[in-house]
Structure 1
Amino acid sequence: MSKVLHIHPQNPQARLIEQAAAVVRDGGVIAYPTDSCYALGCAIDNKTGMETIRRLRRLDDNYHLTLVCRDLSEIALYAKVGNSAYRLLKSLTPGPYAFLLKATHEVPRRIQHAKRKTIGLRIPAHPIVQQLIEALGQPLMSSTLQLPGDDMPLNDIYDIEERLGGQIDLMIDGGPCGGEPTTVIDLESDTPVLVRQGLGPVPPGMLE
């Protein structure tokens, strides 16, 4: 069975965060809480881990995996961000949003959208994932923990353990999350486009 770490959602224990980071560094795939719902994650250079996430979720190459970043300074390393897009990012992060942006030339092709050469980026407002990324020193490659046939993401550690026990390396129990996927906004062009309305509210007129 997969290992389970019970980490306090507001005051994460540093030694447990380091244990989780070690699993990711060693090539593991983890389930972890965010400010919207639980997610699957692995290191950005973990090709096998990415394949595991795609297999568990039955995703093809045209589905965006998401780079979960610590702050806006990291986003600039992986995505081309214009002034208007930056202002929108700054107003909505950290929070339950994911953004689609043109990838920079430094981003490996395997983590870009196969056709559009875009990348999904996210800065969650959750102490566990924020401290995990800090400990790792790099973003997490991630995807919402919504399994094939389910209408909503998994949000209970016991359900996650029952469904995925033995198929991933670590599950972080941080208690229940928001229970809904992120709001997804496409910033590929000058005009932002709402791709999916999720947990994150979009103020009227913001995307005009």
Structure 2
Amino acid sequence: MAKIVKIYPENPSEKAINEVVDVLKKDGIIVYPTDTVYGMGCDIFNHKAMEKLSKIKNVKLEKTHFSFVCNDLSNLSQYSKPINTNLFKLLKRSLPGAFTFILNASHTLPSYYKNKKTVGIRIPDHIIPRIIVERLGNPIASTSTHDDDEILEYITDPELIAEKYGKLVDLVIDSGAGGYTPSTVVDLTSGSAKILRQGQGDLDLYI
């Protein structure tokens, strides 16, 4: 069964954060809090872990559409092609926040993304995943633990999430009750913003 580690945003434990990063470096899959629903992921550059994550979601790795959780916008150019000034202002104003922005993918993505034309970027308004990404040195994959047909408690309660995924993941971070509304997905690939899915984030399109 997956280990449950309690980490709270008010005072994140250095020891616990290091334990999570160590799991990620050893091909591990984690469940982690975000500003929306609890997420499931791994190091995007760890091919073995990404294969495991894809298997959990019952999809081939090359067919996945996992978003990348980043800690800030500093490495945006590593994963996406340049965007215009107005869209960059939109990103700066909206992030960290409850959004997934779809961008045109760069050519420096992991090898299994080499045929993908787009990439989703998440910078959650939650300190714990951003600290983990910073310490790891790479983004982590983002896929939701949320299923539409599940009762609310199985979406929001980390202990019940661990009960469901305990044999599939390596570590579950308990950061208290999570949300049940996913992020708002915004497509920026055409040079303007188009909302593909309205979720928790309320996008201000004023530039």
Same-fold call, TM cutoff 0.5: yes
- CA contact under 8 A between 2:72 and 2:123: conserved in structure 1? yes
**Structure 1 pair 109/192, CA: closer, same or farther in 2 (3 Å)?**
farther
CA distance in 2 between partners of 1:172 and 1:193 (Å)? 33
Q: Which residue of 2 aligns with 1:163?
A: 164
CA distance in 1 between partners of 2:162 and 2:202 (Å)? 30
**2:32 matched to 1:5?**
no
Q: Which residue of 1 aligns with 2:132?
A: 132
- Identify unmatched segments of 5+ residues in structure 2: none
Give the 3-state SS of the residue equivalent to 1:43 in structure 2.
Answer: coil
Q: CA deviation at 1:174?
A: 0.6
Give the 3-state SS of the residue equivalent to 2:135 in structure 1.
Answer: helix
Q: CA deviation at 1:148?
A: 7.8
TM-score, length basis structure 2: 0.90
Map 1:66-85 onto structure 2 (within 5 A).
Answer: 66-82=67-83, 83-85=85-87
Superposition misfits of 4+ residues, deviation over 6 angstroms: none
Number of aligned positions between the proteins: 204
- CA contact under 8 A between 2:37 and 2:156: conserved in structure 1? yes
Task: In structure 2, give the amino acid aligned to 1:35.
Answer: D
Map 1:28-177 onto structure 2 (within 5 A).
Answer: 28-59=28-59, 61-82=62-83, 83-111=85-113, 117-147=117-147, 149-150=149-150, 154-177=155-178
Q: CA deviation at 1:47?
A: 2.0
Map 1:20-31 onto structure 2 (within 5 A).
Answer: 20-31=20-31
Give the 3-state SS of the residue equivalent to 2:40 in structure 1.
Answer: strand
RMSD over equivalenced CA pairs, Å: 2.2
Task: In structure 2, give the amino acid aligned to 1:122.
Answer: R
Post-superposition Cα deviations, 1:12-55, rounded to whole Å, max 9, x if no partner, equal 11110011000001110000000111001101112232222223
Q: CA deviation at 1:147?
A: 4.3
Post-superposition Cα deviations, 1:143-175, rounded to whole Å, max 9, x if no partner, equal 111248548782211211111112111101011
CA distance in 2 between partners of 1:13 and 1:104 (Å)? 35
CA distance in 1 between partners of 2:193 and 2:151 (Å)? 26
Of stretches 190-199 and 103-112 in structure 1, the one that deviates more from structure 2 is 103-112
CA distance in 2 between partners of 1:121 and 1:181 (Å)? 14
TM-score, length basis structure 1: 0.89
